Structure 1
Amino acid sequence: MNHSNQPPLLTALAAAVGDDPCVSVGDDAMSPGELRAAAAAVADRIAGADRVAVHATATIETVIAVVGCLTAGVTAVPVPPDSGPAERRHVLADSAAQLWLGDAPEDVELPVVPIDRAARSATSYPEPGAESAALLVYTSGTTGAPKGVVLSRAAIASCLDALYDAWGWTAEDTLVHGLPLFHVHGLVLGVLGALRVGSPLKHTVRPKPAAYAEAGGSLYFGVPTVWSRVCAEPAAARALGSARLLVSGSAPLPMPVFEKLSALTGAAPVERYGMSETLITLSTRHDGERRPGWVGTALPGVHTRLRDERGGPVPHDGESLGQLQVTGPTLFDGYLGLPAKTAESFTEDGWFRTGDIAVVDAGGFHRIVGRESVDLIKSGGYRIGAGEVEQALLAHPGVREAAVVGVPDDDLGQRIVAYVVGEVADGTAVAEFVAGTLSVHKRPREVRVLESLPRNAMGKVQKNLL
């Protein structure tokens, strides 16, 4: 199949034989041979293009489309199926996508290539160079239009191989998840990861607790909202007790959910950290400590450091806050068409500025405090991480969800305001509860009760909307 000296990105898919499904999405399943031939049929129709948009629905067609792009050496641009016309127009114009793969909304003016899951081709394609762009993923930043993150085949391969090591992930596993197929979590880890290592993938279309319980997997991926819902259905949670590993990512896992999931399944979840720009860089290990609220150590090949506001080193003492910077083979190639923005996101000596605030202990364990722009609160001369206050709020029996922000204050510089969801009658009592577990200066000055917190598709709270 492979006429170049380049090892295939989807190693297991390229070599696999047999009729057992390598991937299923809902009731649709394909063997390795069927997926290769269906992807080649897509590749035949798009070969020669630079970038093509993929209507990234939770379907087998999306898997065929993305594998078809990787087969042909064409950069895939996953477009969220729930994106509005303005966001879609921006992504298509900014990416200069030449074709649209899959069913198209009415406002799409590109030539449309439908995905026929029954189509087959025997065309053989050489493996593209490792440095070529595999995916162009758009980030939902808190300010401005989404930016296109260019991810090379080499970066994806490096990330996945490091995760196989950290998670003990092998072809013997069966991976289960129901995450969207337009982000790094669901698409890169959840589809390409399975096809590279050869573990069968069962995608449940939606990440419902009952579907997770019925799937019988050994490895499960979820975001905190998914694990919270699993915990709310104890029978489903107990059914996951036979799994080897439950992995949580894309947002911080609240400590009460970590503890409840551990109690119901008999094993603590693995937490990991990454970004579209860096892929996954930190994780707790399958054979190591799993500490609630902490995301573990740097993956093989990845290096991290903490810097203060003047660029000086921050001690790894488990308490001092610093700007997290990373370097390694998993980093992106830049923001498409934004050289100045790309340069600004790296230090002079080549480390990527994540924009996150973290602490690191003497053993190299990392805790992410939050985004520097919204989660580092400077109040009364203190530097306070919003995440620490949120965890303290979630320990209150009446609080189900919490988000903490700093708002301008003439006296304090910023005052801490907490937004909570739950059965809370007296905000003052909740603030005093926090003051009883953290330093008094970290207590919220205001507690506002909401019906729900605004979240994006990956479960991250959108604090700019609060």
Structure 2
Amino acid sequence: MWTSPGRPALRFGERALTYRQLADAAGALAARIGGAPRVALWATPTLETAVGTVAALLAGVPVVPLNPKTGERELAHILADSAPALVLAAAGDELPAALGALERIDINATATAAATAPTGPPPVPAGPEPGPTAPAMIVYTSGTTGPPKGAVLPRRAIAASLDAVADAWEWTGDDVLVHGLPLFHVHGLIIGVLGPLRRGGALRHLGRFSVDGVTRELADGGTMLFGVPTMYHRLAEALDGDPALVKALAGARLLVSGSAALPLPDHTRITTATGRRVVERYGMTETLMNTSVRVDDPRPRPGSVGVPLPGVELRLVDDAGAEVTAYDGETIGEIQVRGTNLFSGYLNRPEATAAAFDGDWFRTGDMAVREADGAVRIVGRKATDLIKSGGYKIGAGEIENALLDHPGVREAAVTGEPDPDLGERVVAWVVPADAGPGARPTPEELTAHVARQLSPHKRPREVRFLDALPRNDMGKIMKRALGARAAGS
């Protein structure tokens, strides 16, 4: 990271740091926090968050990124569980009362160092260098099944994942990454900020995602774009009337989508308009990156998250715990992984850690099939997306893609609900493309549409229309909220 001091490292809007400036800013902060057992980081989409993260890594101090949108109760739980010694924040940030008891250190991300200052790493606190198994970050899960759990990520897991995706994506120091993701989770902070820095390349963060921002930065030398399906959907919808966006996406070397499945219609619209495919990858907080479509794979891969990354072992396991050996694109099993990319465990939760593993294999809770060449296609979450209906195992994802192929459907989600005859019935939640009178497709039309594309037993037994689907900060559809809505209706 320290070999090219004058090269651009980070840019957030009009504010930027070269590698030398980043080294000086992060080194000064590292000297102040060295020796702390743990620090919290108010993770806004700013230069300060990037500097604070690099400083903590230099100092060997585990950092807990905090989502600024976290509610009071959840934030209080995270602070009590992780017990940080102090909090890092940008000067002027107004912090919630729950952080008032902690010592606060304002992060100085001002570019005061000369871009041509001597090469070499900045001074860091004296002491033994942290080993590869030392904790680097504690990232809290979404807490969909209880209070959020702190996944302890060792330094070796971060390094292994960054190097693995670099191999799959042919990521080099010549690349300029563009993204507008939040910086309190794996995708935005670890892959999106530390990834470019590990390669010696540059990051341009949009602060907040916008179609105009993507167009501007890709047209001005950006080579890679990271996004989630919601972002790519907005880009796909804007293509028809925006030749500048078409040209910008066509000029990018790599488009990467993650955090949830990208609907097939968006894949098609982007590729048709720009000649560029969107590469999907698969990861999670506890495992960092597991699989990806490789950039050197010449085949189109819509709906696939590719093959296991270097250093990652992956298997599918059926309900009885037996390994699924069929690579037929049909037999569903739960994804389990092992490798140096794994977390060390959940902070203060030995029982939860033990329950998350099958021997040394981590149970992801994601259900998938494998194609003949080993590529993985995820069909949904075990808890919410695997529907057992009439003796069949049905993945919600393929039904959602079939619904999205209908011109009258803008968004779709599929859930299972208890049924006295079938065990579970397939329920489709649909946001119509046009809500005008008479424009909305009928439930019967959508049911027949799915039955024509897939097996008849996969057709929705009920269709419910919504104005919008509930989503979290990463754009993932919150199916538990749909379930709660159904239970309360």
Both structures adopt the same fold (TM-score exceeding 0.5): yes
The separation in 2 between residues aligned to 1:395 and 1:29, in whole angstroms, is: 42
Give 2:367's aligned residue.
357
Which letter does structure 2 place at the counterpart of 1:440?
P
In the TM superposition, what is the alpha-carbon distance from 1:38 to its structure 2 partner?
0.7
Structure 1 stretch 128-137 or stretch 152-161: which is displaced more? 128-137
Give 1:5's aligned residue.
none
Contact 2:30 2:124 in 1 (8 A): no
The separation in 2 between residues aligned to 1:95 and 1:300, in whole angstroms, is: 32
The 5 A counterparts of 1:313-352 are 313-314=323-324, 315-348=326-359, 350-352=360-362
SS of the aligned residue for 1:15 comes to: coil
1:155 maps onto 2:157 in alignment:
yes
In the TM superposition, what is the alpha-carbon distance from 1:306 to its structure 2 partner?
0.9
SS of the aligned residue for 1:377 comes to: strand
Q: 1:113-133 CA deviation, whole Å, 9 max, x = no partner?
A: 111223879533474222111
Contact 1:379 1:412 in 2 (8 A): yes
Which letter does structure 2 place at the counterpart of 1:459?
G
The separation in 2 between residues aligned to 1:363 and 1:118, in whole angstroms, is: 50
The separation in 2 between residues aligned to 1:141 and 1:389, in whole angstroms, is: 27
Give 1:16's aligned residue.
4
The separation in 1 between residues aligned to 2:300 and 2:46, in whole angstroms, is: 33
SS of the aligned residue for 2:87 comes to: strand
> Which of the residues 284, 299, 308 maps onto 1:275?
284
The separation in 2 between residues aligned to 1:397 and 1:69, in whole angstroms, is: 49
The 5 A counterparts of 1:8-407 are 12=1, 14-18=2-6, 20-102=7-89, 103=93, 104-108=95-99, 109-118=101-110, 123-125=123-125, 127-216=129-218, 217-234=222-239, 235=242, 236-288=245-297, 289-314=299-324, 315-348=326-359, 350-407=360-417
Which letter does structure 2 place at the counterpart of 1:30?
L
Q: 1:305-337 CA deviation, whole Å, 9 max, x = no partner?
A: 111111112212111001111111101100111
The 5 A counterparts of 1:399-418 are 399-418=409-428
Q: What RMSD in Å do the two structures reach over aligned CA positions?
A: 1.4
- What percent identity do the matched residue pairs reach? 52
Structure 1 pair 120/97, CA: closer, same or farther in 2 (3 Å)?
A: farther
Contact 1:41 1:119 in 2 (8 A): no
The separation in 1 between residues aligned to 2:395 and 2:286, in whole angstroms, is: 23
The separation in 2 between residues aligned to 1:221 and 1:339, in whole angstroms, is: 34
Which letter does structure 1 place at the counterpart of 2:158?
I
Q: 1:69-120 CA deviation, whole Å, 9 max, x = no partner?
A: 1111111100011111111111111111111111322332211111122387
Which letter does structure 2 place at the counterpart of 1:239?
A
The separation in 2 between residues aligned to 1:239 and 1:429, in whole angstroms, is: 38
The separation in 2 between residues aligned to 1:120 and 1:46, in whole angstroms, is: 20
The separation in 1 between residues aligned to 2:107 and 2:273, in whole angstroms, is: 41
Contact 2:249 2:276 in 1 (8 A): no
Contact 2:16 2:111 in 1 (8 A): no
In the TM superposition, what is the alpha-carbon distance from 1:239 to its structure 2 partner?
1.8
SS of the aligned residue for 1:373 comes to: coil
The separation in 1 between residues aligned to 2:212 and 2:387, in whole angstroms, is: 39
In the TM superposition, what is the alpha-carbon distance from 1:223 to its structure 2 partner?
0.3
Aligned length: 452
Structure 1 regions of 5+ residues with no counterpart?
1-11
Contact 1:295 1:366 in 2 (8 A): yes
The separation in 2 between residues aligned to 1:47 and 1:326, in whole angstroms, is: 34
Q: 1:202-229 CA deviation, whole Å, 9 max, x = no partner?
A: 0011121110110031111000111111
1:452 maps onto 2:489 in alignment:
no
Contact 1:176 1:220 in 2 (8 A): yes
Give 2:431's aligned residue.
421
Contact 1:238 1:264 in 2 (8 A): no
Structure 2 regions of 5+ residues with no counterpart?
114-121, 435-439, 483-489
SS of the aligned residue for 2:20 comes to: helix
Contact 1:78 1:136 in 2 (8 A): yes
The separation in 1 between residues aligned to 2:480 and 2:307, in whole angstroms, is: 30
The separation in 2 between residues aligned to 1:34 and 1:298, in whole angstroms, is: 37
After the TM superposition, which parts of structure 1 deviate over 4 Å for at least 4 consecutive aligned residues?
Answer: 119-122
In the TM superposition, what is the alpha-carbon distance from 1:41 to its structure 2 partner?
1.8
Which letter does structure 1 place at the counterpart of 2:350?
P
What is the TM-score of this pair, normalised by structure 2? 0.90
Q: 1:225-278 CA deviation, whole Å, 9 max, x = no partner?
A: 111111122122432110100000010000000111111221111100011111
Give 2:119's aligned residue.
none
The separation in 1 between residues aligned to 2:455 and 2:140, in whole angstroms, is: 39
The separation in 2 between residues aligned to 1:220 and 1:239, in whole angstroms, is: 11
> Which of the residues 437, 455, 461 maps onto 1:439?
455
